[in-house]
Amino acid sequence: MAKQTTILKDVIVEGIGLHTGNNSKIVFKPAQANYGIHFVRVDLPGKPDLLANWQNLSDEVAIRGTIIENNGVKMYTVEHILAICSALKIDNLIVEIDNNEPPISDGSAKLLTQEILSAGIKELDAQREYYIVKEPVTFSDGKTTITAYPSDKFEIDCTIGFEHPFLANQQGKFVITEETFINDIAPSRTFCFDFEIEALQANGLAKGGSLENAIVIGPAGIYNKEPLRYQDEFVRHKTLDIIGDLYLLGKQIKAKIVAVKPGHKNNGLFVKEFIKKAILVKDENKAEEKVQEQIVGERIINSAEIQTIIPHRYPILMVDRVKLTDDTKRATGYKAVSGNEGFFQGHFPGQPIMPGVLIVEAMAQTSCVLFLSRPNMKNKLAYFMGIDNVKFRKTVIPGDMLELKIEVIKDSGTKGKVKGEAFVDGKLVTEAEFMFILVDRGA
């Protein structure tokens, strides 16, 4: 049974804030059970206290950092401290600070992590609580899509993309543990493009930024003397930010987070969506039991397993996850529609719409997974013989999450018929019926 924790002793850290440019001193202090993570502004009268949770997210646009606020008192760029607390499983902490932004250090969470670890971690006499989800939870805005899937671990699959010759896209997949965070995520530094600096400073940001605490990217590479710490350091830092922003939930989570083009503002909006559907369980064992409960009579097939069942690959793989029921007659597929999809370049420029035939293809692939996942179908392929009663009811655009519901109408073993329906936000967007034949691979 997992217990809540705090630190053993005080730790003092000093330095300059990335965006405000203000010098500050932090004193990390132990806290009692069920306290949470609190920032205390000791520089202000009454020492106002800010609980780090989603309800205190500031309405101020969080483009380059996460801001919490209460009664007009703000704390800027809290995400690195929250990420450290999340990854090290520190549930309760007092963060006394004499200004409005923590020190940025070298642009990463490495040094702060080391300082907090040096204090030691203390167990408290209270059970830890976890948030889990029983069904996917999705937030979309423009080219950003963030989805939480049920899992017995905390996992992050993050993809970033920019219209830039040096940094087109990167993807990173991590199971978030203390060891993974310390070795693979915490040392990754914040970054920006050279053409952004003037605009950031004009908007009151990056006043404390320099090549000592941020990676600056130019057309041909980085300006920093220190080389990249990882080849994919940029997506690792975005993963660091997600970990921190998710800890605004106030509890640890057990879920797989799939994020496409995340940022602080959308991370915060996702947290608010997640909390609506999350279930709070008392401890780690209970979390695992609850996740298992939701798949009794079901089988969840992830993207990697899908590719062992059907032959489709990028760019024509159109389903990310499939849920099968135990009666083998129904399946639900999920497809996160990203603005990075290649077909949006031509369909249509300036008004991206997912081609209807690809929505039908996504339903068809979900049907293939349903049939070919059976043990006696390992060496088979599904060929479609006909498609009837196709109706397109609504458009599908970047940021949508397709829910693809499949039901078997007829099944003779080698031939069959299924009905497919595609939904976005519970609204039917496409429907069709498929006839198919199963053949040996290579036939």
Active site residues: 264, 347
Q: CB of 88 within 8 A of CB of 117?
A: yes
Q: Are 247 and 82 in contact (CB under 8 A)?
A: yes
Radius of gyration of the chain measured on its C-alpha atoms: 24
Q: Which residue has the tokens 């640890």?
A: 252
| Bridge-based pairing state of the strands 215-218 and 191-193 | parallel
Instruction: Measure the CA–CA gap between 409 and 359, rounded to whole angstroms.
Output: 20
With CA atoms as reference, report the closest residue to 194 among 224, 217, 226, 214: 217
Gap between the Cα atoms of 64 and 70, Å rounded: 20
Distance CA 53, CA 139 (A): 18
Paired tokens of 84: 């450290």
Dist CA 98 CA 93 (whole Å): 16
- Which DSSP state fits 184? I
Burial 69-106 (b: 16+ CB within 10 A, else e): eeeebbbbbbbbbbbbbbbbbbbbbbbbbbbbbbbbbb
Dihedral, CA of residue 8, residue 179, residue 256 and residue 277, to nearest 10: 0
Q: What is the dihedral of CA 252, 254, 255, 256, to 10 degrees?
A: 90
CA dist 310 and 211 (Å) reads 47
Tell me phi and psi for residue 58, to 5 degrees: -75, 150
Dig out the tokens for 219 from the structure.
Answer: 């057309």
Tokens for 228, please give them: 């990249």
How far apart, in Å, do the first and last CA atoms of the chain sit?
A: 54
Residue 436's closest CA among 333, 332, 363, 328? 363
